[in-house]
Amino acid sequence: MIKSQYLSANGLRHHVRVLGESGPDIMLIHGWPETSYCWRNIMTEMAGECRMIAPDLRGFADTDKPEGPYDKRTVAGDIAAILDKTGIQKAVLVGHDIGARVAIRLALDAPKRVQALIIIAGRYPPLGTLKLNDPQQAMERWYFYFHQYPDLAEALVSENVKAYIGHFLSHWSHPSFKFEDNDIKEYVRAFSQPRALRGGFEHYRAALKEDVAQWKEDEGKKIKIPTLVLWGEDDPVSPPYYSDGYDRVFSEMTYRLVPDCGHFVHEEKPHETARAVKEFLKTVF
């Protein structure tokens, strides 16, 4: 049974979901507009085979929501501190969306802490831009710039959190998939917490500020850690072409496109995702 816990690390009170007591240590790092709740099906699928920890990132859901900072290096520092707090020296990092960039950041900054990487629809900024000259991406990425406006974005979205969060959960999924009402209700609850909208948006604000210089340092670097990349074949917001060049960065990479799947691979195809992770881990351990 998945348990909720709170722990103090890196100066913040973190909410984490945990399952398992033995086996490989796996850290599950969510993206936006989700929380640690997004890993519930993966954790259930992999129960009894590993020890899993899924934190709400700083600014999200039931974790503290400081004024800042929200750059990826600081957020990766939170993950390292949670590993320390739970007595884990080295873990498999699984990251989706923003969480994938946090996982990659930790792999770059502290490779000895990372046993393996699993990237789910996670763009690697040193390889290129958001491709806004592509008309489809220009239409999709409006939210990225909307989130840059402090106070205005929060004020407008707070008037109808369900409509805003629900739009992305629906639109970024494959047409054949639909989130359950209870799932949407949980995400709306999470983003209705005081300062939770701001916390989520601050991750995007850091992406155009502090993160830029950090990623620039990484141009040309290779990550020599076993890596599994999973990508929804029909992801509208992060199309598979965002993984172009990954073979130049991740020197031990396994790449899988997931058919009939959008952005939320772990939610839309939990059984297939868990199976791919299990197969990959057999090559690591």
pTM value surpassing 0.85: yes
Report pLDDT for 130: 86
CA 173 to CA 235: how far, in whole Å? 7
- What CATH number does the domain containing 275 carry? 3.40.50.1820
| Model confidence band, residue 122 (pLDDT cutoffs 50, 70, 90) | very high
Among 95-104, 129-138, 172-181, the least confident range: 129-138
Whether residue 201 is predicted with pLDDT greater than 90 in this model: the reply is: yes
Q: Which domain holds residue 90?
A: 3-284
| Model confidence band, residue 132 (pLDDT cutoffs 50, 70, 90) | confident
Neighbouring CB atoms inside 10 A of 185's CB total 12
Whether residue 35 is predicted with pLDDT greater than 90 in this model: the reply is: yes
- What would the mean pLDDT of 259-269 be, rounded to a whole number? 98
Mean pLDDT value across the chain: 97
| Model confidence band, residue 157 (pLDDT cutoffs 50, 70, 90) | very high
Whether residue 23 is predicted with pLDDT greater than 90 in this model: the reply is: no
Domain count, the chain: 1
Report pLDDT for 129: 87
Distances (CA, A) of 228 to 42, 46, 69, 188, 264: 16, 17, 29, 31, 16
Residues serving a catalytic function are: 97, 204, 263
Percentage of residues in the chain having pLDDT higher than 70? 100
Alpha helix (H) residue ranges in the chain:
40-45, 72-85, 98-109, 135-140, 142-146, 152-158, 161-171, 181-191, 196-207, 210-216, 246-249, 265-268, 270-284
